[in-house]
Amino acid sequence: MRLRIDHVSTYRYDPPVRRVVQSHRLTPADCVNQRVVAWQVDVPGGLRGGTFTDGAGDQVQGWTITGPLSEVSVRVQGEVETTDCAGVLRGHRERVPPVTWMRPTPATAADAMLAELARGVSASDGLALAHALSEAVAGAIAYRPGVTHVHTTAAEALALGEGVCQDHAHALIACARVHELPARYVSGYLQASEDGSPHEAAHAWAEIWVEGLGWVGFDASNGCCPDERYVRLGCGFDARDAAPIRGVALGQTVESLDVTVAVEAAQQ
């Protein structure tokens, strides 16, 4: 499948700031699951900085925008050709070993309730266990937008019993690590409409390391593994670490953010 993506993030500052420095993880890596056909990141008025590929195989790009600035816009446009690999991440080049992803963060730390949820799941092998954990998380945290926020932890979402894809991913990572399975957070895009029409589709899921297979994606929010409808941007220990855009603003200000993401099926 060929997917066309249009992603705009607009940051507003009141009062204006003197400078903004950002780090972008906004360019998909080529692998068996996906091939970038065309891709462009545009920051009007911005100065492009250095680019490097981190240990997880994700491209990181720096930007500096000098003001005074009341608004900064980041626009991503591109096309990606995707292949369904049954959730297995194939041909993705990275240097860090899987055990690196055993380190918990405040967002993915397993409290007593998460540990109990995880230990209530058993299976005959690693892949079956990962599937069962994903199902358990989906059953324990109902999908409901607006009840959690960017700083909600996995433990808080489980106690609430509701959340969104970020909360499902955090909780699944925590449960996987209880079973000594390395796990990480993935940010990307999802083309979910049946008719292929554009829609807002920024998304997140988890990847769990399964011996003999490698990294396998699990989208607990949709009860499936990533397929040809998904575009993978990057990964991290949690949502903050894997954020497509991270940055700092120089000056005392109040920041607001508007994000629009449209993903549509393109003509082959």
Structural domains in the chain plus CATH codes: 2-265 (3.10.620.30)
CA distance 176 to 195: 35
Amino acid at 260: T
Amino acid at 109: A
Backbone angles phi, psi at 49, to 5 degrees: -100, -155
When pLDDT is cut at 50, 70 and 90, the band that residue 197 belongs to is: very low
- Say whether pTM exceeds 0.85: yes
Alpha helix (H) ranges present in 57-125?
112-119
Evaluate if residue 198 carries a pLDDT over 80.
no
Number of alpha helices (DSSP H) and beta strands (DSSP E) in the chain: 4, 12
Separation in Å, CA 199 to CA 6, 168, 194? 10, 21, 11
For residue 266, what pLDDT is reported?
83
Q: For residue range 83-117, what is the model confidence (pLDDT) as tens digits?
A: 999 999 999 999 999 999 999 999 999 999 999 99
* 116 contact partners, CB below 8 Å, separation of at least 6: none
